[in-house]
Amino acid sequence: MLCTGLFSLGCGHSGGTSNLLPPTVNNTLPITVNAGPAGNYADGAFTSVKICLPNSTTCQTINGILVDTGSVGLRLLASAVTVNLADQTSGTSTVGECLPFSGFYTWGPVANADVKLAGETASNIPIQLINASGFAAAPSACTSQGLSAVNTVNDLGANGILGVGIYNHDCGAGCTATTNNPNLYYSCTSSSCTAMNQPLTNQVQNPVSLFAHDNNGVIISLPSISASGAPTVNGSLIFGIGTQADNGLGSATIFATDTSGNISASYQGTKYSNSYIDSGSNGYFFLDSSTTSLPACSLNTGFYCPTNPTTFSVTLTGSNTSSGNLSFSIGNADALFGSSDTAYDDLGGPNPNSFDFGLAFFFGRKVYTAINGASTPGGTGPYWAY
């Protein structure tokens, strides 16, 4: 599977503040760009997470978790989980969730766990278990959206998704409402499920926002790579912004998001106001009007295949009016995927409605994701910066 993106359609609200710490807390989690646990991924940044039964030493470390700044919350394939986590309940029913991403959805019960990332802990937080054995089938409102279910490591290309995006909750106030609820959460028996409103504290949450410290955002740091790609690339997921010596903003430009969590991207005379920076997508996804300079691939039709690598320019603008020009290259995806490499800084494909700055954008820079409502040296989140 060559995913074109993992961008959550849910959003969240509220936020926290970050406490300054001496530089003794381990706030850095190694990440690796490789083919993932199924060996079928391109431009995916993977890490390991440790989950525990709440307030216990019964724990498990799970590898091959995709790092995604475009979604919120920890979602694990139930088949990869060996600790016996208790499902979240509502009365006598079990709580399930259907979360749509770009091209697929995750379905399964909500459970609570302690989540440990580097030296940081989010205690007793809701996570999602995907495709749990014996759980009720996904309701029709979930399956009728034209999206594919991801139920196995081959489907997902990962053992789970670590959503460390700009929000605290994966749905927020919308899912607490009794009217106009997006119906992401369900009250389930063994055979059927009914849509329900879900309190904020019971929603799947961004584990970073629940750390005791370093809880105002994350930084993804990846080195530059050659235009031809790289077999694997090692980098870091750093927790906190301006909370320790290793996570300062430096000279990064801050792009505040609008109330929908988007920034603007102007490309070839068109302004795409619902654009975003998303490590869960694997390339630059945008619409180019020229089928000559950027034709679609014949094999991997969701990507561009120019004859030679071609350079383009786009202008990013935040709701704080901060602006910056970016030059980027697009290579031939059919040729790239035909190599032994898994990391590419020039992977791209068509996207008619927005400009998606996926993992290809992250190479050679530090990319900051500040959480909604959280205080940082660069102002209150949400924002992206690089």
Could you report the average pLDDT of every consecutive run of 10 residues in the chain (386 residues)?
37 39 78 97 97 98 98 98 96 96 95 98 98 95 93 97 97 94 95 95 98 97 93 98 96 96 95 97 90 86 94 97 96 95 97 95 98 97 98
* The predicted structure's pLDDT at residue 3: 40
- Would strands 310-317 and 356-357 be described as parallel, antiparallel, or unpaired? unpaired
Q: What is the pLDDT of residue 292?
A: 64
CB 88 within 8 A of CB 94: yes
Query: If you search the block for the tokens 């770009």, which residue do you land on?
Result: 102
Structure tokens given for 51? 């989950």
Q: List the one residue out of 40, 37, 132 whose CA is nearest residue 77.
A: 132
Of 169, 126, 208, 124, the residue nearest 376 (C-alpha): 208
Read off the amino acid at residue 263.
I
DSSP 156: H
Q: Looking at residue 9, what is its pLDDT?
A: 35
139-142, long-range: CB within 8 Å, 24+ apart, which pairs? 139/98, 139/186, 139/192, 139/193, 139/195, 141/98, 141/183, 141/195, 142/98, 142/105, 142/107
Joined tokens for residue 139 = 């309701």
Computed from CA positions of residues 109, 113, 118, 120, in that sequence, does the dihedral angle turn out positive or negative? Answer: positive
Residues 77, 83, 88, 91, Cα dihedral to 10° = 130
C-alpha–C-alpha distance, residues 386 and 379, integer Å: 15
